[in-house]
Amino acid sequence: MATVDTPDEEQAAPEAPVAWMERARKSAMTIRSRLLLGASGRSVRALYWLRQHGRRAEVVAWLISVGVGAKLLSELRLGIAAWFAPPRLGGLQTLLVGTGTALIGGTAIAASLVLFAMQVNVERLPFGLFRRLSSDLKLLLAFAGSFGLAIGVASFSLISSPANAAFCVGAAILFVLLILRSFLYAYRRSLALISPEYQLELIKLDVAKEARRWDRRARWAEPLLDKQQADGKFDQLRYTISQVDPRLRIAADKGLKHSVALARKLSDQGDAIAAESALQTVVVINQLYVAARGRSFFASTLIGDNEHVHDPIITHSIEAIKNYYRSALGRRDEEQMISALGTLKALAGAYLGIEYRDDFDSKTHACYAAGQLQTEVEQLVAHLMPDALYRAVGILGTCARELAVRSRPEDAVPLVQKIAALGATGAAREDHIVITHAATEQLAKMTVLLFGVERFDPGYATRETLASTISMTKLVLGSSHARQAPFGSPLDSYFSGVPRKLGELTNALLKADVGDEHAQQVARNVEEWAEELHRPIKELLLQSVEKQSIFTIILIQFVHSVTEALLAMASAECCRDHERDELRKHALWLVSVFSWLPTEPDSALHVHNLSFIEYLLQIAGAARRWGGDDVLDEVRKRLLKWSIAVSLHQWDALENGIYALASMAVAQGDGERDRLLRDLQANVNEAFVGKETRDHVARELRMKAENLRDRQFEINVIERALTSVEREPIKALLRDAANILSPDTKDEPVRSVIL
């Protein structure tokens, strides 16, 4: 008889073959997958090899074919000679004459069709490029070779002896195949010649060839230069040659004109991809020009004006892109506008590679290009194009970061200020809130980037970035939409993103060695950023509380995260004594902003409902962990005063505050228990807390002391803090606090909690 745990024979019999078939099917699928993947991998590698070595493979194939054909004809030479004995030799001559004549006509027709197809596409080309394509040597040689081969096939008809028939037949077959391959090459070559990509390659090749010639002539002239008259690192020779020999400038200017003209024509035809490639050619030409000129550029000076700072190629490039951008702006073509702005940013990046006389000179030409980029982006505001402006702000941010890293950080300040000004447009129009999001994200990236700058002092750029961010935030919070929750999301990119990155940076510094100079410089940069941080945060916090915005909780979290990061960074071994003291002082000042919070009913309840006491408790835990005794005392003071003040409007504030203070006192030890009771007695009497509130809170404290127990998955910060300390001391402290609040209810029975 079958049981529940043991199946009977009828049920067990079918399971064995089913399991075997399942294993076999899985094995077959595994083998099939491996075979398919292996074959696919081999085919991909073969195709990649053919793309890399296609011409070599074709030459080898032709050689093998010629060799095999020659071997076969040598073996069959006598048979072919016997076959074409008179009178059949005359037929072979007629065949070769007809074939050669047909090939000559076909070559002429093919040449005419290809040339006609190129003429049809003339309207897509600037004149200079069309003149270059009309004299393409490879295409002309392909047609000339085809004519020659066709004439060669016809000339084989002059044979007079059957003994040469095998050679004539083999050569004629080879010539016909070569003619067909020449037709295919001419067809593909003509398609390439009329494609914008190839035309742009021709432009770049011309400029690159002239740049190499110019550089070679400059290097040839170097031995003639008197080394004693050389001006330091400035390349006087190349500068002099650039003034005397204008061929490099002429070639670059010609390439710029052709590229911009082609970009305009392609953009009018709606070919956005090819137009963008033309704009990228402008950047490549500038890179070639800058590399050839070397260290022969002049930077602007603070006193006086240097007429040699102006460079015609750089100025022409920027002005040409500006005109292209304004043309696209008039058509409201967003893709072309963004391509033009990206080109201006790329030009600024190319000019950052210019080396001046002094290594610490400002990148004058890059700053000029960045300034023109800033001016053109500003025009989008009046045209009410939020989508294009959103992408343009990202381009500005990328350009600003490149300037801060490759030039001096203060060179990026104008761009940072403009980004903040554009982000403030979200305060005026609700549909521009995406601009605020983009601006806040770029400002956050800039702030984090400045933390790691080593070459220059980023203090000024850091302060200006913070000031610009605060100004933008004030405008956004002061708008008519400040009470709406969506305003917390754009600003969150900075006030939540920067603390998160700062925490990651702090973790890296905690692992750094004592003498790590880079880590020490990072700590100094962070200290400069946090030096005056408490003042604007206080202003934002008061404004946000006044508006009762959801942004208040973001600011509270910001203070919590930044304070913990500063205290942790101050405890790092690589941090020097001065920065360590300053970081802890800045953390103390940052926590002190909570002393300015208003205690009026509406404002106090708004802050209290955002878990303010829980965040204070977390700050205290971070201060105790990282040795911030001053911060811990300040948090204890703020927590007690806030809890008592808010209890006048909502009684649970006092209860939660005493829970938090009690857990802190027990965890700290060393007389903190008695200190808490004294401070509680003094502050409760001074604040004139009502008897009803004191009695209610006292009963809740006694009940908590009697029913305190651990929970496995506790998410409440205060409850988790109460259960994390020793049980008996925390219970005794809660009872003593309850007796101070309400001595009259001391003997009342404590009600139990029903679970």
Cis peptide before 87 (omega within 30 of 0): yes
pLDDT band with cut points at 50, 70 and 90 for residue 125: low
pLDDT band at 3 (very low <50, low <70, confident <90, very high): very low
Answer whether residue 518 shows pLDDT above 80.
Answer: yes
Task: Give pLDDT tens digits for 398-435.
Answer: 999 999 998 889 999 999 999 999 988 887 787 788 88
- The set of residues, in sequence order, having a beta carbon less than 8 Å from that of 663 and lying 6+ positions away, is 617, 718, 721, 722, 724, 725, 730
pLDDT, the chain, mean: 82
In the predicted structure, residue 9 carries a pLDDT above the cut 60: no
CA distance 254 to 248: 10
- Segment 437-459 mean pLDDT: 90
CA distance 122 to 131: 10
Beta-carbon count within 10 A of 280 CB = 18
Can you give the three-state secondary structure of 417-477, one letter per residue?
Answer: HHHHHHHCHHHHCHHHHHHHHHHHHHHHHHHHHHHCCCCCCCHHHHHHHHHHHHHHHHHHH
What type of residue is 358? Answer: D
Residue 503 has pLDDT above 50, yes or no: yes
All structural domains of the chain with their residue ranges: 54-194, 423-596, 609-622+636-755
Span 282-324, pLDDT tens digits: 999 999 999 988 888 887 765 546 677 888 899 999 999 999 9
Give the separation between CA 259 and CA 515, rounded to whole angstroms: 52
* Token pair recorded at residue 168: 């004539």
What six digits make up the tokens of 667? 């965890």
- Measured at the alpha carbon of residue 392, what is the angle toward residues 386 and 396, in degrees to the nearest 5? 140
- 397 with 423: CB under 8 angstroms? no
How far, rounded to the nearest angstrom, does the alpha carbon of residue 266 sit from its chain's CA centroid? 28
Q: What is the pLDDT of residues 64-76, one digit of tens each?
A: 888 888 888 788 8
| Res. 92: pLDDT tops 50 | yes
Q: Is 625 helix (H, G, I), strand (E, B) or coil?
A: helix
pLDDT in tens, 177-193: 888 888 888 877 777 77
Q: Tokens in use for 589?
A: 């000042």
Separation CA 616–CA 640 (nearest Å): 11
Q: How far is CA 93 from the centre of its chain?
A: 71
Give me the phi and psi of 184, to 5 degrees please.
-65, -40
Indicate the burial class of 582 (C-beta count within 10 angstroms; 0-12, 13-18, 19 or more). buried
Residue 414: its H or E element = helix 413-423
Q: Which amino acid is at 11?
A: Q
What is the model's pTM? 0.80
Q: How many helices (H) and strands (E) does the chain have?
A: 33, 0
Cα dihedral 388, 351, 318, 292 sign: negative
At position 447, the amino acid (one-letter code) is T
Coil vs helix vs strand at 393: helix
Count of residues making up the chain: 755
Whether residue 344 contacts residue 376, with contact meaning beta carbons closer than 8 Å, is answered with yes
Contacts of 171 (CB under 8 A, 6+ apart): 152, 156
CA distance 701 to 739: 10
Residue 350 to residue 373: CA distance in whole angstroms: 14
Closest CA to 604 of 657, 555, 548, 684: 548
Which amino acid is residue 688, in one-letter code?
Answer: F
Cα separation of 77 and 652, whole Å?
A: 112
Give the torsion through C-alpha atoms of 524, 527, 532, 534, to 10 deg: 170
Query: What percent of the chain has pLDDT above 70?
Result: 88
Report the Cα–Cα distance between both ends of the chain, in Å, rounded: 49
